[in-house]
Amino acid sequence: MSAPASPSDSATETPAAPRAPLRSRLGFSGRTLVIAVPMLWLLLFFLIPFFVLGRISLSDPMLARPPYTPLFDRGPDGVLEFLGDLENYALLWADTLYRNAYLSSIGIAFTSTVFALLIGYPIAYYIARSPEPRRTILLLLVILPFWTSFLLRVYAWMGFLQREGLINSFLLWVGVVDAPLQMMQTTFAVQLGIVYTYLPFMILPLYANLTKIDDAFFEAAADLGASPLVTFLTVTLPLSIPGIIAGCMLVFIPAIGEYVIPALLGGPDTLMIGRVLWDEFFSARDWPVAASVAIVMLFLVVAPVMWLQDYLDRRGLKG
């Protein structure tokens, strides 16, 4: 029989070291794993489609549909040559149709964003300054339209804006107008539809920003004798600039490429780049030109976003 272990022997035994987490053994930190998911999403659904569009936009304009010739090939001397064609982008600059579509889309999106800001800021400010039980109900009312189909809400405006619709009937009944107004198939109808549809995207970032403002700022302004208007202009408005920029971007970016609202509420004179893209892809089936239109529109959207991001970083207003 073996002798029992002495207390001194058991005291000298070292406990087994705990195993490192799997992410540490693989060389990944928790931060890397968290960032990897959205980065993979952007790679699959943004970068890869972007490069595919870029590849198609540089194809021979005579080849409207695939298969396309390769972009690079080795010449007789073995040197790698670029075979892409920039004629599609030259067409966008030369043809007034595309230039007018870009300018019209930017103008309609900008005007709609301004009106959404003028309407959404007071609503967000009122919700942010409301007591907690009422604030929850008001936020629910802002989000409530998302529970209804987007198409049904746009179709409802078609009923409101028609010559025999509710708005014209009310104006005729109160005697404001003598004849029905032409509201459907106009730029006004498109802007109204965009403002109504994307107004919650303006309200929610503004509300989130306004609720972060410390009440001590307002108390300090009141102690210094500032009126409510002066307090708003010198305290609330400057501190809410990040929310204003975020809301404007959330409205302007989808509005510039909107297709459904102009197609249902706009007329033949309402030219937006979303309709041009649809016509080039599905009616004319000219994929290289359509891809060029999409690439240029993407840069038109990304440029102001990058400028605003740089502005926020320089002014220390990020967050």
Using one digit for the tens of pLDDT, what is the confidence trace for 105-129? 999 999 999 999 999 999 999 999 9
Residue at 44 is within a domain: no
Determine the pLDDT at residue 140: 92
Is 148 domain-assigned? yes
Model confidence band, residue 14 (pLDDT cutoffs 50, 70, 90): low
pLDDT tens for 231-245 read: 998 999 999 998 999
Give the global pTM: 0.81
Q: Share the mean pLDDT of the chain.
A: 83
**CA separation, residue 255 to residues 112, 125, 148, 242, 268 (Å):** 8, 24, 19, 20, 18
Asked if residue 32 is part of any domain, the answer here is no
Beta bridge partners of 80: 74
pLDDT score for 178 = 86
Closest CA to 56 of 73, 42, 71, 74: 71
- The two tokens of residue 78 are 């073995």
1 pLDDT exceeds 50?
A: no
* Residue 272 belongs to domain with CATH number: 1.10.3720.10
Contacts of 54 (CB under 8 A, 6+ apart): 291, 295
- Cα angle, residue 183 at apex, residues 178 and 184 outer, rounded to 5°: 135
Residue 154 lies in a domain: yes
Number of domains in the chain: 1
Cβ neighbourhood burial of 180 (10 Å; 0-12, 13-18, 19+): middle
Please write down the long-range contacts of 304-311, taking CB distance under 8 Å and 24 or more positions apart: 304/249, 304/252, 305/249, 305/253, 308/245, 308/249, 311/245
Flag whether 80 is in a domain.
Answer: no
Q: What does the pLDDT read at residue 281? A: 84
pLDDT, tens digit, for every residue of 273-317? 988 888 888 887 888 888 899 999 888 888 877 887 777 777 766
| pLDDT tens profile 178-218 | 888 888 889 999 999 999 999 999 999 999 999 998 888 88
267 found inside a domain: yes
- Confidence category of residue 67, pLDDT binned at 50, 70, 90: low
Considering 53-67, 88-102, 151-165, 200-214, the range whose residues carry the highest mean pLDDT is 200-214
170 is a domain residue: yes
For residue 248, give its domain range: 95-315
Beta bridge partners of 81: 73
Instruction: Provide the sign of the torsion angle of the four alpha carbons 16, 22, 28, 30, taken in this order.
Output: negative
| Assigned domain for 156 exists | yes
